[in-house]
A = this chain, B = another copy of it.
């Protein structure tokens, strides 16, 4: 790989002039420019990001932290982030943390070292203390999951309200025995959605029964299957289930299917996220739609603004209840 020196030599100019041509900045005569461009072509030269970044303290790279790419929830968000990034001449690098603090550290390190200009974290298990530390001197945005009262700007939805709407929908359908399949309540969104669930029950003077609340430690299908199986073993079965993710809800649906129970006649099911597969199940799944693409766009816009040195405010976006067959008689 040729460097700027060799280009300068070939073109018979100084490195500064080559740099000027490269950055289209200050004035260069057309003839000089031509000479340089020819040299660049001849040597097949491409400027080194490393040298440039070291000099400029800028990489135009954005990091996106996700716990796992296997959760389809992130797909559309990343799409949004990517589009906004590209439009602003940034590129994104996806970092799968597997909720592993060591991996996280490496990525934080990249930001500290200007290998990347900023980071959007979507990992609910992220080490908040480390992230806050990072945020003191660097650009950080939280997407979807956030810290209450924290100082890192975030974009999210009102999880409590969304859960409330979902459960209220079930109750208004006449289901007064609503179970909750929640994830681990160490996550803020899980606590918020539980609050929404309880609020709806209280509003209709229904009892909150601990045995109808099941917490899973992961969000995959199998855990949904497990959870439903447990709920079906109870003496008094629920007549409706609200699961805090579509993946869990789909697992639950699968188990109901296996047990020969009819959905929604015998048990109604609501999920959360509106992943694409939720429309492929039988019956199709009623779910809470988060504006994922818009969330991604918003997060990216916020991050880029922050990198520019602007102060950015947290944003709460609207959700929507998508009613489909799993709650439609």
Contact = CB atoms under 8 A, between A and B. Distances in A.
Interface of A: 1, 46-51, 53-54, 68-70, 72, 74-75, 78, 82, 86, 91-96, 98, 103, 106, 109-110, 112-115, 137, 220-221, 250-251, 253-254, 257, 276-277, 279-282
Contacts of A92: 96
Given A78-B69, A78-B96, A93-B95, A50 B48 contact: no
B50 A54 contact: yes
18 contacts: A1-B137, A48-B54, A49-B113, A49-B115, A50-B50, A50-B114, A69-B78, A70-B75, A72-B72, A78-B96, A93-B93, A220-B276, A221-B277, A250-B280, A253-B280, A254-B280, A257-B282, A277-B277
B75 A72 contact: no
Most chain B CB within 10 A, of A51, A220, A253, A280, is at A280
A281 B74 CA distance: 22
Nearest to A115: B49
Contacts of A282: 254, 257, 281-282
Contact of A115 (B50, B68, B78, B98): B50
A29 B236 CA distance: 71
A53 B51 CA distance: 10
A293 to B, nearest CB: 12
Contacts of A50: 50, 53-54, 113-115
